[in-house]
């Protein structure tokens, strides 16, 4: 069992589960199924505890985990860096407005009596002041969170995966991820088929199985209808942060 050489650190509702499931098809990737939450919630348990959660690997295999909340956790960059400065980091990002609605949809499925998306978005609806303390909105300010990581890791050690392209061209995005991890490009078009009902790509064969595998019921939930004026307000709010993020990463994600 080895400490992970690569971690998917974010973002919540960006497509991290899909990326991990797709990556596990690769014979040289071994990953923890559940989210360990070590660098945010369980840090005091120590590295030996963390290492023990990891799967056994052979020489040349990469150990991975994913916990999407790391990206927004203040202490996570320093903690991961002190484990190993060479850790490769992967962030799956998607349009922050859609991400926020997806985040809300997930909460709604667990707590049907929460306030509306619209009422949670604003501190004050009349002035249109957006409540950035609401985590659904806070998480999408990617540029702000990224600054914290760049204090500890060079930008070249962080790969930014487009959540949108992970759906429209999974093999293309997986190609970039395999290159970044120094793996042979084994996962290709032949591994995927598009499930029209879910609107998601699915694996023809999952890891250790000969059956096709789509992500479970909790993925690809139908979003509630959100007031278009609120969506527009959020687009305007995120635009400058998105632009800054594009500059920082050298990638235009096409959200605007």
Annotated binding site for 3'-phosphoadenylyl sulfate: 13-17, 94, 102, 219-223
Q: How far apart are CA 213 and CA 103, in angstroms?
A: 24
User: What are the backbone angles phi and psi of residue 111, rounded to the nearest 5°?
Assistant: -130, 85
SS3 38: coil
Is residue 13 among the annotated active site residues?
A: yes
Q: How far apart are CA 164 and CA 10, in angstroms?
A: 15
| Cα atoms in the 13 Å half-sphere on the side-chain side of 251 | 17
Assigned token pair, 160: 């930014």
Q: What is the dihedral of CA 6, 12, 14, 19, to 10 degrees?
A: 40
Q: How far apart are CA 205 and CA 214, in angstroms?
A: 10
SS3 101: helix
Angle separating helix axes 16-23 and 170-180, nearest 10 degrees: 70
13, 66, 123, 144: the active-site residue: 13
Q: Are 118 and 225 in contact (CB under 8 A)?
A: no
Q: Which residues are annotated as a binding site?
A: 13-17, 94, 102, 219-223
SS3 57: coil
Interior/surface letters 19-40, b for 16+ CB within 10 angstroms, e for the rest: bbbbbbbbebbbbbeebbebbb
Interior/surface letters 90-118, b for 16+ CB within 10 angstroms, e for the rest: bbbbbbbbbbbbbbbbeebeeeeeeeebe
Q: Annotated active-site positions, please?
A: 13
């Amino acid at each position: 069992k080895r400490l992970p050489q690569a971690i998917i650190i974010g973002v919540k509702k960006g497509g991290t589960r899909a990326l991990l499931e797709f990556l596990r098809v690769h014979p040289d990737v071994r990953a923890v199924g559940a989210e360990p939450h070590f660098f945010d919630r369980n840090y005091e348990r120590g590295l030996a505890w963390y290492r023990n959660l990891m799967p056994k690997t052979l020489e040349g295999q990469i150990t991975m985990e994913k916990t999407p909340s790391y990206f927004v956790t203040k202490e996570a960059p320093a903690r991961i860096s002190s484990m190993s400065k060479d850790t490769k980091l992967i962030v799956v990002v998607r349009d922050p407005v859609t991400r926020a609605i997806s985040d809300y949809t997930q909460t709604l499925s667990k707590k049907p009596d929460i306030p509306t998306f619209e009422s949670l978005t604003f501190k004050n609806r009349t002035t249109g002041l957006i409540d950035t303390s609401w985590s659904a909105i806070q998480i999408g300010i990617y540029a702000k969170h990224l600054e914290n990581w760049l204090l500890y890791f060079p930008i070249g050690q962080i790969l930014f995966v487009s959540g949108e392209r992970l759906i429209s061209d999974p093999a293309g995005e997986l190609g970039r991820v395999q290159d970044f991890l120094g793996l042979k490009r084994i996962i290709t078009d032949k591994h995927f088929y598009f499930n029209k009902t879910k609107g998601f790509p699915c694996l023809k064969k999952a890891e250790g199985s000969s059956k096709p595998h789509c992500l479970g019921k909790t993925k690809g939930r139908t979003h509630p209808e959100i007031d278009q004026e609120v969506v527009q307000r959020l687009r305007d709010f995120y635009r400058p942060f998105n632009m800054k993020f594009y500059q920082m990463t050298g990638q235009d994600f096409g959200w605007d």
